[in-house]
Amino acid sequence: DLKWKPIIPDLGSRSPEIAILRVDPATQATQLMIRTPAAIHVRKHWHTANETHTLVRGTAVLECDGHRAELGPGSFNFMPAKMVHEAWLPAQSLTFITVDSAWDINWVEGAPTAADLGARAPRRTARGRHRRRQDAGD
């Protein structure tokens, strides 16, 4: 049986939860699972190690450097060490994660709060020709 622990205890039972599956004693490389009891915006953060995500259940929207990717079950991505990224996860998502050294999380602007619960990824704004000009004179 997996031992699930809240990642953000202040969110109580709605906190994303983590289960550490294995830690390599020599390198500290870690395999883990994260599940989300509630939909959440995972604010900008980074990890010291390279990180991979494999979505087991649900969907995820990941964004870094202005690039956005939507992942579904079976999807995989790679985040280089120290790359700042954020994510939007639905309720009941399940993600398998590997890092090639010790697991950590470094919040850029603070950990998610209750205000981030239930959040969906914002829609992309229209660009250039699709944007209404304020000085169009109409």
* CATH code for the domain defined by 5-120: 2.60.120.10
pLDDT for the residue 15: 96
What does the buried/exposed string (b/e) look like for 40-52 if buried means 16 or more CB atoms within 10 Å of the residue's CB?
bbbbbbbbebbbe
Q: How confident is the model at residue 123 (pLDDT cuts 50, 70, 90)?
A: confident
Domain ranges of the chain: 5-120
Q: How far is CA 33 from CA 78, 95, 123, 124, in A?
A: 16, 6, 28, 29
Please give the single-letter amino acid code of residue 4: W
| Residue 34 near residue 99, CB atoms below 8 Å | no
Q: How confident is the model at residue 138 (pLDDT cuts 50, 70, 90)?
A: very low
pTM, rounded to two decimals: 0.84
